[in-house]
Amino acid sequence: MEVTLLQVLWFLLVGVVMLVYSLLGGYDIGVGSLYLFSSKKQRPNMIEKVGPFWDANTIWLITLGGGIAASFPAVFAVTFSGYYLAIMLVLVALIMRIVAIEFRYQLNTPGWSKVWDACFGLGSILLPVLLGVALGNAMRGLPLIVNEAGYPAFEAGKFFSLLNPYSVLVGVFALVFFAWHGCNYLNATGNEDVRASVRKKGPVLAGVSLALFLVIGIYTFMGGQGHDFLAGAAHLSKNFMNFPPLFVFPLLAVGGMLFYFMAGKESKIKPLFASIFASLGVVGTVGASLFPRLIPNSMTVDKYNPTGLTDFTSEHLTANITSSTMDPTLTIANAANTEPALLVGLIIALLGVVIMLPYTIFVYRKFLKKAKDTSAAVSSGASRNV
């Protein structure tokens, strides 16, 4: 088994989709997690800023799941079945917050408002934590085995073992980071009242994000590795040690968060750029630390020492899973879909993006342009818009 060009391209593509979801789904979730901590006067404006977009943003999450299933189906099958209850909770959180966005302002009764406010706010808090915990566990490594049918899997028995300190830290980071990004989105698009409020919350969230990012970084490098409850993910440091230019990603993440503090208080757009660059840094850091692995095996992570990017041909990294006697580590080679499927999937994905980009940009411009003069649009009435 050799690593092929298509596998590398798909690794990059999945990374890009993860980045786009963390940017678009990120502000969407972030606005939701701030919702319950905002005044009732600010809330309708906040909902209006995600209302037209939540659907497309959520499709990016489906595209991420579908993209992983298309490119590295073993990763999709192993994690989604292994994280079973956590995935079910992700779905519940997602459903509640989506339905809340569309239902909340349909009726005016106090009970109705309270219920859907709670669903939107709590769903938006639970969702990033769960997604972060899932990512943290995957990076830290999972106890992978080969099941009776010859496919990789892991025992989903211990739901609470997913809640190890390392992964929980990643989950909290996702929550705080998205909330910060949501602040920056509202700062760019919201009304004056909302902007004043997020300008107060933003610096705190940025500071906590930065602190958590550094703590997770240190934990990753110094916390050891393996299947211990307290273990970090030292195996993720190898790529950086072998190829130091990769440090550009964590530096970009830190730089983005620091840039936020330097951006002027009155600027609408600069803080948003800060969190966009920071997102690029964070997602890049995840990709750089994993490549060419996708899911390390926490039970054997001590036994092998991939020497980094040049280790493509190492037997352990590319060993055929189904015929392997070793406990598998999922890599971009052995977890990949068949080559024709990778090619067809890639063509479709690129075609989809080419079609989607123009109208997505068009619709965002329509809504965000009008956001500046909503009052004018409403008072002038619809009749003039015919």
Minimum Å gap between C-beta 325 and other proteins is 15
Distances (CA, A) of 289 to 170, 220, 241, 250, 308: 15, 10, 10, 10, 9
Q: Which residues in 27-56 contact other proteins (CB under 8 A)? A: 40-41, 44, 47-48, 51-53, 55-56
Q: Which residues in 140-199 contact other proteins (CB under 8 A)? A: 147-157, 159
Residue closer to other proteins (CB basis): 282 or 330:
330
Q: Which residues in 252-311 contact other proteins (CB under 8 A)? A: none
DSSP letters along 130-176, please? HHHHHHHHHHH-B--EE-TTS-EE-----GGGG--HHHHHHHHHHHH
Which of 103, 243, 304, 312 is the binder for other proteins (CB under 8 A)? 103
The residues pairing with 142 across neighbouring beta strands, listed in sequence order, are 297
Minimum Å gap between C-beta 146 and other proteins is 10
Q: Is 326 in the site for other proteins (CB under 8 A)?
A: no
Distance (Å, whole) CA 68 – CA 83 = 15
Distance (Å, whole) CA 358 – CA 369 = 16
Distance (Å, whole) CA 85 – CA 158 = 10
Which of 9, 73, 165, 214 is the binder for other proteins (CB under 8 A)? 73
**Span near other proteins by CB under 8 A; candidates 26-34, 129-137, 265-273, 317-325:** 317-325
Please work out, in degrees rounded to the nearest 5, the angle formed at the alpha carbon of residue 273 by the alpha carbons of 67 and 127.
Answer: 45
Q: Are 283 and 24 in contact (CB under 8 A)?
A: no
Minimum Å gap between C-beta 96 and other proteins is 8
Tokens 């997604």 — which residue?
Answer: 131
Q: Is 62 in the site for other proteins (CB under 8 A)?
A: yes
Q: Is 382 in the site for other proteins (CB under 8 A)?
A: yes
Residue closer to other proteins (CB basis): 69 or 214:
69
Which of 204, 247, 258, 366 is the binder for other proteins (CB under 8 A)? 366
